Amino acid sequence: MEQLVNKYAQKLITAGLAEKEGIFQPLVGGLDDTLVWNRTAHEADILKDVFKGLNINSLVFLKPKEPYAPLLAFLAQKAMEQNHCIEPKDCETRTFLHDLPIIKKFNADLIIQVLKKRKSVIIASPQKKDMPIIIAHGTVSPEQGFVTVSSVCFACFIKFFTDYLEQLRLNICSPQVHAVFDRALSFLKPAKKKLPNFSCPPFKNEKDVYSAIIKAGKQTVAYDLVDSYFGNISYLWNNTLYISQTGSSLDQLQGCIDPVPMDGSSSAGLTASSELSAHMKTLVRTNCRAILHGHPKFSVIMSMDCDPDEKAVCNFSGLCHIKCPKKRFIASTPIVPGEVGTGPTGLCNTLPPALEASSSAIVYGHGLFTTGKQNFSQAFASLLTIETHCREIYFQTIEKLRHQ
Q: How confident is the model at residue 144 (pLDDT cuts 50, 70, 90)?
A: very high
Q: Quick one: which H or E segment has residue 208?
A: helix 206-222
- Same domain for 121 and 9: yes
Same domain, 177 and 213: no
> Which residues lie below 8 Å from residue 280, measured CB to CB, with a gap of 6+?
241, 260, 262
pLDDT at residue 330 in the model: 94
Residues 263 and 159 in one domain: no
Residues 358 and 287 in one domain: yes
Whether 115 is covered by a domain: the verdict is yes
Pick the last residue of a domain from 186, 219, 235: 186
Banded model confidence at residue 121, pLDDT cuts 50, 70, 90: very high
Which pLDDT does position 117 carry in this prediction? 94
Name the strand (E) or helix (H) holding 363: strand 360-363
Is residue 343 in a domain? yes
Average pLDDT over residues 37-44: 95
> Does residue 323 register a pLDDT over 80?
no
327 in a structural domain:
yes
Q: What is the pLDDT of residues 287-298, one digit of tens each?
A: 899 999 999 999
Please, is 183 exposed, middle or buried when counting C-beta atoms within 10 Å of its C-beta (0-12, 13-18, 19+)? middle
In a domain, 192, yes or no: no
- Split into its structural domains, the chain has a count of 2
Residue 317 sits at φ, ψ, to 5 deg, of -55, 130
Counting residues of the chain whose pLDDT is more than 90, the rounded percentage is 71
Q: pLDDT tier at 47 (50, 70, 90 boundaries)?
A: very high
**Domain end (from 128, 157, 186):** 186
Whether 236 and 160 map to the same domain: the answer is: no
Average pLDDT over residues 48-52: 96
**If we measure between CA atoms, which residue out of 132, 82, 137 comes closest to residue 104?**
132
- Decide if 142 is inside a domain: yes
The answer to whether position 199 is within a domain reads: no
For residue 57, give the CATH number of its domain: 3.40.225.10
Q: Is residue 312 very low, low, confident or very high in pLDDT (cuts 50, 70, 90)?
A: low
pLDDT the model gives residue 345: 83
In terms of domains, do 172 and 260 share one? no
Based on the domain organization, do 139 and 36 belong to the same domain?
Answer: yes
Tens digits of per-residue pLDDT, 228-241?
A: 767 899 999 999 99
Higher pLDDT, 315 or 63: 63
pLDDT digits (tens, 9 = 90+) for 257-286: 999 999 877 666 666 777 889 999 999 999
**50 and 177, same structural domain?**
yes
Residue 224 DSSP code? T
The yes-or-no verdict on residue 381 having pLDDT over 60 is: yes
Say yes or no: 132 and 225 in one domain: no
Residue 171 domain flag: yes
Taking the model in full, what pTM does it have?
Answer: 0.93
Assess whether 158 and 251 both reside in one domain.
no
DSSP per-residue codes, 145-177: HHHHHHHHHHHHHHHHHHHHHHHHHHT---HHH
**pLDDT in the model for residue 211:** 93
Res. 83: pLDDT tops 90: no
d(CA 175, CA 328): 31
What digits encode the pLDDT tens for the residues 3-30?
Answer: 999 999 999 999 999 999 999 999 999 9
Question: Which pLDDT value is given to residue 70?
Answer: 93
User: What is the predicted pLDDT for the residue at 306?
Assistant: 85
Residues 82 and 181 reside in one and the same domain: yes
> Is 76 found in the same domain as 47?
yes
Asked if pLDDT for residue 126 goes beyond 70, the answer is no
Judge residue 165's burial from the number of C-beta atoms within 10 Å of its C-beta, 0-12 exposed, 13-18 middle, 19 or more buried.
Answer: buried
Domain residues for the domain of 398 are 206-402
**What is the C-alpha to C-alpha distance for residues 156 and 88, in angstroms, rounded to an integer?**
7
**Structural domain includes residue 108:** yes
Whether residue 384 is predicted with pLDDT greater than 90 in this model: the reply is yes
Q: Which residue has the higher pLDDT, 336 or 266?
A: 336
